[in-house]
Amino acid sequence: MTQVKEKRVGFIGLGSMGKPMATNILKAGFPLTVYDIRKEPLAEMEKLGANIAKSVKELGKVSDTVVVMVLNYPQVKQVIAPPDGLLGGMRRGTTLIVTSTISPLEILEVDRVAKQHGVEVVDSPVSGGHERAVEGALVLMVGAEEKAFKENELLLKAMGKHIYYTGGVGKGQTVKMINQVLVGSYQVAAAEALAMAKKLGMDLNILHGIISNSLGDSAVWRMFGPRMIARDFEPKGAINTMSKDMLSIMQTAIDLGTPVFISSIPYQVFRMAESRGLGEKDCAAIITIFEEYAGIKMSD
């Protein structure tokens, strides 16, 4: 296995999740080259000691392993597509780690194209949100050939605390999709519960503490409940990201012929929030839809 100090890592996508993940890779001692279309995060990463690539192709040329953390499948395709994308620069025998959340079928297509260029794919979506990304405490769900997983395990551990090997390429995205089925449902349920409690005149902070120690508790309740109560909508996990994930769930369910009675509701709520201009706000901002229909505000 290539030692930490010798493995040259490239990182593309320095958003709310990507920048702290890249920062933790630097802290772990990996030589790091980064790329983003925005100048501000590039300047921040350069101050921390990262090298800056002028293009994704240039980044591919100087990296042994490249981590891609962009929003969706169209962006993943744009980043990797030869001749000007990553696969136009990466050498045979190098590795592409996709941490973006896309569908299982989409990551299999990425794998097919990458193999034509002699590049190994590691399918590794993450869960935990911005705070856990900063702490290096993300959950990584890894789908890959076991050899590729082992060769990149130290790098994966630099980004996350809980690393789960799920099987071959596609299995990581499968686990992430099922996780998002539950997360989306919990977020909408939390908003619905808080709106009802507010209408009943309950002190929401007292309520949150009680539910956090009751059967209604969840990681989503503990993380998003206080944000909804405080109406803190600074984006740590944006609505447009969750909306994209819920759309992928719905499309996959249709393709598979599986029922999605519950998931169809979060899908509609997040799409509604996007249509109201809330796409770049935190997922906690879906509480505003429930406030509107209930005729209350959390802050009243």
Catalytically active residues, by annotation: 176
CA distance 218 to 7: 38
Placement of tokens 């447009």 in the chain: 240
What are the two backbone dihedrals, phi and then psi, of residue 266, each rounded to the nearest 5 degrees?
-55, -35
List the structure tokens of 177: 């999709």
List the structure tokens of 185: 């449902």
Please, what sign has the CA dihedral across residues 145, 150, 151, 153?
positive
How far, in Å, are 37, 93, 145, 300 from residue 117 at the CA level? Answer: 25, 9, 17, 59
CA distance 106 to 84: 20
What are the two backbone dihedrals, phi and then psi, of residue 15, each rounded to the nearest 5 degrees?
-85, -155
How big is the chain by its Cα radius of gyration, in Å? Answer: 20
List the structure tokens of 27: 């802290």
How far, in Å, are 37, 71, 82, 145, 199 from residue 111 at the CA level? Answer: 24, 18, 14, 11, 50
List the structure tokens of 103: 């569908």
List the structure tokens of 233: 């909508």
Instruction: List the one residue out of 54, 8, 163, 4 whose CA is nearest residue 99.
Output: 163
CA distance 256 to 280: 30
